[in-house]
Structure 1
């Protein structure tokens, strides 16, 4: 569990700097340069991610069950994850109506992903991993929107074609991940009862 917690601190901490310590971030970029910052940020993020993967794998072996989710939670989680993929796709596309309404679709996608996995998984390791991401995304989204309002940031306009593109990309990515990649990367098929 130690490696999982350390990985979460490093990964989520590095992904929070822009929101919670932007002045320090800007000063550091000015001092060391943008490329050096991006390099350090990437290395730290990768280290955190690797520790999460290793730590979760180790912690999940024989992890204590907090609750035994009913089978229907898997179906609800599968539906919610579809929406998470659409929000993640919208985050990477030019301005869409969805992006203009929510401002930070990637954070909402992570929030939905974490909540869905909490519904359908009940071990202590699951609770630590997905609960951490859920709390982080809730706090980050609230802080991001507060900063948007304080700085007068308005997400206006957006093209409906980009929403349709986000929908198509989200559906394709969801299908690929659910049918093939989840089993290959995580070792569990989301649609086959274990």
Structure 2
């Protein structure tokens, strides 16, 4: 199977892998059978495999250019991806229950908001940053659908999680956290409370970025380096 058919099938499977487990209590039954940790490891590996296939299928779809690729535009994902990976690593296990990646039984502490003081949705912001940054140098129709769809999905998911939080949380939650704010980085108290875990996860994000930088040509058939 090639062309638009493969790309459409990959898109459908990726969307289905995220929505089908929520139907009929399927996810709950699988967690009960496999255990929470094993379920999410398996789910993450399957999602990653489908995502790699989806990106690869977009590259094999018929080329319909909407705007040309430029050397300047290739710098955008190169500069954005270290930030996106840092947000993704920081978002794993966040103590903010109304977002993807929250640790099990997470509860928000207004006196110690942690990363939520900068962003309540680090994984979704990372997804939007990844997608938006890759949209700039990939102006063919298939990649515009791919990356534009992921960017729109991240914004829609933020809106949905924010609406759920407003139904369940009081003013202290929103007064001590933010959708996106850099103001906490200027406060010494925030760094004293969060500097060490930030440094550890920052190192992990750097390793992930270097690994992805070298694996990108193998996985997706193109170097991420500007040229």
TM-score, normalized by length of structure 2? 0.66
More helix by share: 1
1:150 aligned residue: 167
Alignment RMSD (CA, Å): 3.3
Cα distance in structure 1, aligned partners of 2:92 and 2:30: 28
Cα distance in structure 2, aligned partners of 1:2 and 1:13: 16
Number of residue pairs matched? Answer: 184
SS at match of 1:15: helix
Structure 2, unaligned runs of 5 or more: 96-112, 178-189
Cα 1:50–1:177, aligned 2, differ >3 Å: closer, same or farther?
Answer: closer
1:69 aligned residue: 69
Cα 1:9–1:140, aligned 2, differ >3 Å: closer, same or farther?
Answer: farther
Cα distance in structure 2, aligned partners of 1:55 and 1:67: 20
Cα distance in structure 2, aligned partners of 1:182 and 1:136: 23
Cα 1:13–1:140, aligned 2, differ >3 Å: closer, same or farther?
Answer: farther
- 1:94 shift after superposition: 5.4
- 1:162 shift after superposition: 2.1
Give the one of 101, 111, 117 matched to 2:134. Answer: 117
| CA deviation vs aligned residue, 1:73-115 (integer Å, no higher than 9, x gap) | 1112211111111111111255583344322211111110000
Cα distance in structure 1, aligned partners of 2:81 and 2:31: 38
TM-score, normalized by length of structure 1? 0.75
Cα distance in structure 2, aligned partners of 1:142 and 1:55: 29
- 1:50 shift after superposition: 6.4
Give the one of 5, 8, 21 matched to 1:5. Answer: 8
Structure 1, unaligned runs of 5 or more: none
Cα 1:164–1:55, aligned 2, differ >3 Å: closer, same or farther?
Answer: same
- 1:181 shift after superposition: 1.0
